[in-house]
Amino acid sequence: MSRTALLSIARNLLLGALALQFGAAIARSAGLQAVEGEVAPPAVRFSGYEFAVKTCPGCGPGPNVFSAEAVRVDPAGRLHLTITRAGGHWACGEVVLNHSLGYGEYRVKLRVPADFDPAAVFGFFTWDPTARDLYYREFDFELSQWGQSGDPNSQMVLQPFGLEGNRVRFRLTPGPVEVSLKWSPGLLLCRAFLGGHLVQQHRFTVGVPATTGGERLHFNCWLYGSTQQPGFGPAEVVLDRFTFVPLRKGK
């Protein structure tokens, strides 16, 4: 067999191995069922839904270390997502719903921490790992100042965030807040409530993705700028409750 043929075989074997590893990583990060030979991720139950706990030694966003040590549900049923020191590094928390919800209203009650570090990020978003060309069907509510202590601490986003009109930044005061992301064909309505009063609202009507059943709901708490933020301390976001109301036909 020629040297060229041997090199071609070796290259194909390497690409095949990489594809298998990449597919397994996608399954883990998206909360999908484990592929053959993979260990199923740990899980938590929150507001009547089962979420997979993301675990990986160095992956996005960040990159960061995501660990089950940074996720817990307390006796009152509240979900705690943290950035905590573990094993000489910062461990971040992320959970992924184990199935698609599709169109409807995604609503979460949480508490905006008074001492949330400017480099910490809380995310409430959808993600479809198979839809790269559609920006992963991602839309978000994010709580962060992205390392800049004087900036607004909240934003509503339709990806890609760099397009004009795809990101709305605003400020939320510490304390209980309720965030609603209502997704319907061609429309994403994002709202934030304090004490039952609407304090921020935005309608996205351009580039809103369609549901295909591949997207999953995620909640996470992670460190912007990875592990290089000087003076960073532990961070935590507490989610009191999540509810989902499916979109009724004809609406």
CATH of the domain at 191: 2.60.120.200
pLDDT band at 88 (very low <50, low <70, confident <90, very high): confident
Q: Are 104 and 13 within one domain?
A: no
Looking at the structure, tell me whether residues 25 and 125 fall in a common domain.
no
Residues 20 and 105 in one domain: no
Q: Which residues have a Cβ under 8 Å from the Cβ of 113 and sit 6 or more positions away?
A: 174, 235, 236, 237
Q: Does the residue 151 lie in any domain?
A: yes
Nearest residue to 42 (alpha-carbon basis) of 88, 98, 89: 98
Identify whether residues 3 and 111 lie together within a single domain: no
Residue 24 pLDDT class (50, 70, 90 cuts): very low
Flag whether 236 is in a domain: yes
16 and 89 share a domain? Answer: no
Task: Match 């690409």 to its residue by tokens.
Answer: 15
Same domain, 106 and 14: no
Q: Which of 59-63, 64-68, 225-229, 242-246 has the lowest mean pLDDT?
A: 225-229
Same domain, 146 and 241: yes
Do 105 and 2 belong together in one domain? no
Query: What is the pLDDT at residue 225?
Result: 82
Residue 222 sits in which domain range?
A: 41-246
- Look at residues 81, 76, 21 and name the one whose alpha carbon lies nearest to residue 51: 81
pLDDT at 144 over 90: yes
Residue 224 pLDDT more than 90?
yes
Token pair belonging to 231: 């003076």
Q: What is the pLDDT of residue 230?
A: 59
Residue 161 domain-assigned?
yes
Does residue 131 share a domain with residue 211?
A: yes
Please report the DSSP string for 194-241 in residue order: ETTEEEEEEEE-SSPPPP-S--EEEEEEEETTGGG-TT---EEEEEEE
Q: Which residue reads 């609603």 in tokens?
A: 180
- Residues 19, 130: one domain? no
Number of structural domains found in the chain: 2
CA atoms of 41 and 246, how far apart (whole Å): 27
At residue 226, the pLDDT reads 61
| Greater pLDDT, 77 or 20 | 77
pLDDT over 50 (residue 38):
no
Question: Cis before residue 160, ω within 30 degrees of 0?
Answer: yes
Checking if the pLDDT of 19 tops 70, the result is: no
Q: Is 251 among the domain residues?
A: no
* The pLDDT value given to residue 87: 82
Residue 106 main-chain phi, psi, to 5 deg? -95, 120
21 and 122 part of one domain: no
pLDDT confidence of residue 202: 98
126 and 206 housed in the same domain = yes
Residue 22, pLDDT above cutoff 60 = no
Running DSSP on this structure, what letter comes out for residue 83? E
pLDDT score, position 164:
95
